[in-house]
Amino acid sequence: MAEDMPMLNISSDAGTFDRKTNRRHPSSAEKWKRKKLESKRKAVFEPQESSASKQRKINQTGQQHTHKQKLQTPKSPSQRSNNRDTEENGDQREIFAAKSPSKVKTFPKKAPKEHGDYGRPFIKTSSLFRNNPEIPDVLSPAVNLVKEKVFTSNTFEELSLHPHLVATLHKVLNVTSMTSVQKQTIPVLMSGKDAVVRSQTGSGKTLAYGIPVVQFLQAMQPKVKRSDGPLAIVIVPTRELALQSFQMFQKLLKPFTWIVPGVLMGGEKRKAEKARLRKGINVLISTPGRLVDHIKNTLSMAFSAVRWLILDEADRILDLGFEKDLTVILNALNAPGLARQNVLLSATLTEGLSRLASISMKEPVSIHVSEGSGETVEVCPQAAPQALSDSYAVPERLQQHVVVVPSKLHLVCLAAFILTKCKFEQRQKLIVFISSCEAVEFLLTLFTAVLCENPNTTSTKSTSYLNFYRLHGNMRQEERTEVFQEFSQCKTGILLCTDVAARGLDLPQVTWIIQYNPPVSAAEYVHRVGRTARIGAQGSSLLFLTPSETAFVDVLANHNISLSEMKMVDILATLMKVERFKDRGKWDNKRSAAAFEQEVRERATVLQTDFENYVHANKESLQTAKSALQSFLRAYTTYPSSLKHIFHIRNLHLGHAAKSFGLRDAPQGLGSSITTNPANSKDSKKGKDKAKRPPKKLTAKQRVSNLMRSEYFSGIEGESKSKKKRKKKKGQAEEEESTAA
Ligand SMILES: Nc1ncnc2c1ncn2[C@@H]1O[C@H](COP(=O)(O)OP(=O)(O)OP(=O)(O)O)[C@@H](O)[C@H]1O
């Protein structure tokens, strides 16, 4: 791993160390030594290698790894990681390098003149930029884009709605003409039929079911009373989406004050929710888990009057994690046997839904908004959802990009992209998708500490153009709600989040969606990017892939999604404009392209070193980084089997992945359950043996538990067994308490 360490090449004998900047200035003796070694620099820099020489190096890599591991043995990893500051670490590396035979390269002592000295220690860039897998060109296959027209020229007046409802749409919701999905769905639902609705993200599906429900309820005779209990139930996969749908119903129901909407989200005290349920909620919006909780534990929960069941993001709700909950809900609803209208909606409904349709729907109308089908609505009994193709429509004004970044460079590349957008462009609102709650927390802390502080001053005041927010399922509900509201209202900001924010959230003016960790399916990709370019607006997205993951572009192409490539070097080049590097001198066009590239590499290395210094500054931050890495690895094991040929934990290089968490080494004992790349194994011989063994087959139960764990990583809904048990106990206690009261 030694070669993977960031090399601030500093000798121990003299020089001054600037504690403010964490950098050491070389002594004159050192400078002389460096000068002598200048002639060797070419051998070290190797700016452009031929593919033949690259291949040779790849062939040698295994040998080099083994050798370097041997060199490191005098110190245990834990001892190494306890070395707080770079100076100490730098000494350590030099000692090892001195003892090593010729295969281990000697590091240069001085940067070439054209790169400037600026009185800074020379920065060896190879640890970040060498031994990375080759970056292939990504050619997104040609696809037939599925187009959906968002707006129609038809108005809500054409629908025979209650005039107060039309007025509310105009005045409160500020909408006048219908979107395509509304034009097709509202009349079908108003005629009393069940429907399966698929239309692109941000096309107005919420009002497409909200308007018919309100129209129906306000017209009911005798007039709706609170004591009637739930008449319409809306199930959504996340708490924030529940809150958002609830707020939409609140607005729509403004003129019809006798109809009461309510939301059950979890996070709130069950006792308080129970009290609200007892008082009476007519339009009940809930996450599946919370509703099941009340079905099982709230005696006063009655479903005898339910006339509408709406599953928004229906494909998500049908995922394994929620299926059990849904069965409980359907059993409870089906018991009284009242005629009920059922609606399923999502931007990515596929044939998997036929199972649910057959359980709960009667001759559903299939509404599929796309070019060509714009004016027609088919009535397809039972098998309707199967007719839905696997081609997904994405918003027309969404610009989709992909960037291929080796694992080691992930962190600096994300940081550079955030800086590019937020510092040098106006009014940027970014959402960054990350695979686990722990990794979100880690990146928030790291970026806030390293990017928001100005290294040239002692002030810790954060820079005004970088406002970080975070959202994931391990946060307290009040905090989640607060962040959701704040990020909705802010003009600029960066939301670091898990997939809790992937579905349905209507966050205004989001300009960029960054998928730092790839999604678990093409459908999830569509929902993530759908947080921008909503309702006809413009937006952009960027998908990060490692070189071994580029086949995911073909998976997306199979669903008619096409991406254009962005080059990592172009993203990193932003570092040339960043103020924190201003002491490195001004750059102009007169310098050679190679010098420019070298300077970019050096700056990226300085930034990576800042990240690593922060991570290794104390035990706590080191542990946080390790936990984040571990959770990332665990999340990586949960890709479905259909994508395992692309996203397999064995393809990951642990040392490189560790670097993307600011760690200088892959921590030991990352969890025996995680299958690792044999090349990462401490004992390469053992690793080879391991590689021969066929991968352990998981039982169905294990696969399910893996998926559930994946939910827990993003914190969408699934919970660990022990957490559920604790909650159940608490609930029972509350129940007893309230009965006693
Ligand atoms: N007819 C309309 N005219 C103008 N704006 C509208 C109209 N209908 C809905 N909107 C607005 O469009 C935005 C997106 O709507 P909505 O959240 O319902 O989309 P969606 O199709 O459910 O998206 P997703 O698939 O991501 O859940 C909302 O801000 C909503 O207020």
Compute, in angstroms, the gap from residue 405 CA to the centroid of ligand 1. 34
Indicate which residue's Cα is closest to atom 20 of ligand 1.
202
Query: Cα-Cα-Cα-Cα dihedral of 344, 346, 350, 353, to 10°?
Result: -30
From 155, 368, 534, 541, the mutation candidate for ligand 1 (largest count of ligand atoms within 8 A of CB) is 534
From 199, 488, 506, the mutation candidate for ligand 1 (largest count of ligand atoms within 8 A of CB) is 506
Q: How many Cβ atoms from other residues are within 10 Å of residue 642's Cβ?
A: 9
What residues pair up with 263 in beta bridges, in sequence order? Answer: 285
Indicate which residue's Cα is closest to atom 11 of ligand 1.
204
Indicate which residue's Cα is closest to atom 25 of ligand 1.
201
Compute, in angstroms, the gap from residue 281 CA to the centroid of ligand 1. 25
Q: How many Cβ atoms from other residues are within 10 Å of residue 32's Cβ?
A: 12
Describe the chain by its helix, strand, coil percentages, rounded to 5. Answer: 50, 10, 40
From 171, 173, 199, 206, the mutation candidate for ligand 1 (largest count of ligand atoms within 8 A of CB) is 206
Query: What is the 3-class SS of 320-349, one letter each residue?
Result: HHHHHHHHHHHHHHHCCCCCCEEEEEECCC
Indicate which residue's Cα is closest to atom 5 of ligand 1.
175
Compute, in angstroms, the gap from residue 673 CA to the centroid of ligand 1. 43
Compute, in angstroms, the gap from residue 148 CA to the centroid of ligand 1. 14
Q: How much is the pLDDT for 720?
A: 45
Burial class (CB in 10 A: 0-12, 13-18, 19+), 84: middle
Q: How much is the pLDDT for 467?
A: 93
Show the CA angle centred on residue 433, arms to residues 427 and 434, nearest 5°: 135
Compute, in angstroms, the gap from residue 207 CA to the centroid of ligand 1. 7
Compute, in angstroms, the gap from residue 202 CA to the centroid of ligand 1. 5
The one-letter amino acid code at 448 reads T
Compute, in angstroms, the gap from residue 264 CA to the centroid of ligand 1. 22
Indicate which residue's Cα is closest to atom 23 of ligand 1.
202
Give the largest Cα separation in the chain, rounded. Answer: 95
Using the 8-state DSSP alphabet, how is residue 311 labeled? Answer: E
The one-letter amino acid code at 336 reads P
Closest-lying ligand 1 atom to the alpha carbon of residue 531: 26
For β-strands 7-8 and 123-124, DSSP reports them as antiparallel
Burial class (CB in 10 A: 0-12, 13-18, 19+), 378: exposed
Phi, psi of 185 (to 5 degrees): -85, -45
Tell the residue number behind the tokens 């129940």, with chain if given: 735
Give yes or no for a contact between 133 and 547, defined as CB atoms under 8 angstroms apart: yes
Q: Which residues, at least 6 apart from 425, have a Cβ–Cβ distance to it below 8 Å?
A: none
Compute, in angstroms, the gap from residue 340 CA to the centroid of ligand 1. 25
Helix axes 593-615, 437-450, angle to 10 degrees: 110
DSSP 574-617: GGGG-GGGGGG----TTS-HHHHHHHHHHHHHHHHHHHHHHHTT
Long-range contacts of 184-187 (CB under 8 A, 24+ apart): 184/367, 184/369, 184/377, 185/209, 185/212, 185/367, 186/159, 186/211, 186/212, 187/159
pTM for the whole structure: 0.77
Compute, in angstroms, the gap from residue 179 CA to the centroid of ligand 1. 8
Compute, in angstroms, the gap from residue 155 CA to the centroid of ligand 1. 15
Q: Mean pLDDT of successive 10-residue segments in the chain (741 residues)?
A: 33 40 47 46 36 37 34 31 28 27 34 39 68 84 83 95 98 96 97 94 98 98 95 95 97 98 84 88 95 84 89 86 85 79 91 60 86 42 48 94 97 96 91 98 96 55 77 93 95 96 96 98 97 97 97 95 95 86 68 85 93 94 95 95 95 93 84 45 39 47 40 44 53 42 29
Give yes or no for a contact between 609 and 6, defined as CB atoms under 8 angstroms apart: yes
Q: How much is the pLDDT for 336?
A: 65
The H-or-E segment that residue 296 falls in is helix 288-297
Compute, in angstroms, the gap from residue 380 CA to the centroid of ligand 1. 26
Closest-lying ligand 1 atom to the alpha carbon of residue 506: 17
For the chain, the distance separating the N- and C-terminal CA atoms, rounded to the nearest angstrom, is: 63
For β-strands 429-433 and 512-515, DSSP reports them as parallel
Tokens of 191: 């005629």
- Any residues with Cβ below 6 Å from ligand 1, and which? 175, 178-179, 182, 201-207, 347, 504, 506, 530, 534-535
Q: How far apart are CA 321 and CA 319, in angstroms?
A: 5
N residues, the chain:
741
Compute, in angstroms, the gap from residue 205 CA to the centroid of ligand 1. 6
Indicate which residue's Cα is closest to atom 1 of ligand 1.
178
Judged by phi (left if over 0) then psi (alpha if -120 to 50, else beta), residue 399 lies in: beta
The H-or-E segment that residue 354 falls in is helix 354-360
Closest-lying ligand 1 atom to the alpha carbon of residue 346: 25
Helix axes 619-636, 700-714, angle to 10 degrees: 130
Q: How much is the pLDDT for 707?
A: 37
Compute, in angstroms, the gap from residue 250 CA to the centroid of ligand 1. 16
Q: How much is the pLDDT for 579?
A: 72
Give yes or no for a contact between 518 and 494, defined as CB atoms under 8 angstroms apart: no
Compute, in angstroms, the gap from residue 208 CA to the centroid of ligand 1. 9
Indicate which residue's Cα is closest to atom 14 of ligand 1.
202
Q: How far apart are CA 228 and CA 679, in angstroms?
A: 65
Nearest CA among 582, 506, 514 for reference residue 201: 506
| 678 preceded by a cis bond (ω within 30 of 0) | no
Q: How far apart are CA 422 and CA 494, in angstroms?
A: 9
Query: Cα-Cα-Cα-Cα dihedral of 287, 540, 438, 293, to 10°?
Result: 0
Closest-lying ligand 1 atom to the alpha carbon of residue 179: 1
Query: What is the 3-class SS of 470-521, one letter each residue?
Result: EECCCCCHHHHHHHHHHHHHCCCEEEEECHHHCCCCCCCCCCEEEECCCCCC
From 175, 199, 209, 246, the mutation candidate for ligand 1 (largest count of ligand atoms within 8 A of CB) is 175
For β-strands 468-471 and 512-515, DSSP reports them as unpaired
DSSP 46-97: --S--HHHHHHHHHHHHHHHHHHHHHHTTS-HHHHHT--SHHHHHHHHHHHH
Phi, psi of 121 (to 5 degrees): -65, 145
Q: How many Cβ atoms from other residues are within 10 Å of residue 731's Cβ?
A: 18
Compute, in angstroms, the gap from residue 535 CA to the centroid of ligand 1. 6
Q: How much is the pLDDT for 92?
A: 26
Q: How far apart are CA 705 and CA 709, in angstroms?
A: 6
Q: Which residues, at least 6 apart from 77, have a Cβ–Cβ distance to it below 8 Å?
A: 665, 667, 668
Indicate which residue's Cα is closest to atom 16 of ligand 1.
204
Using the 8-state DSSP alphabet, how is residue 664 labeled? Answer: S
Compute, in angstroms, the gap from residue 373 CA to the centroid of ligand 1. 20
From 161, 203, 245, the mutation candidate for ligand 1 (largest count of ligand atoms within 8 A of CB) is 203
Q: How much is the pLDDT for 186?
A: 98
Helix axes 205-219, 239-252, angle to 10 degrees: 50
Nearest CA among 508, 503, 493 for reference residue 239: 503
Q: How much is the pLDDT for 734?
A: 46
Q: How far apart are CA 109 and CA 211, in angstroms?
A: 71
From 205, 245, 349, the mutation candidate for ligand 1 (largest count of ligand atoms within 8 A of CB) is 205
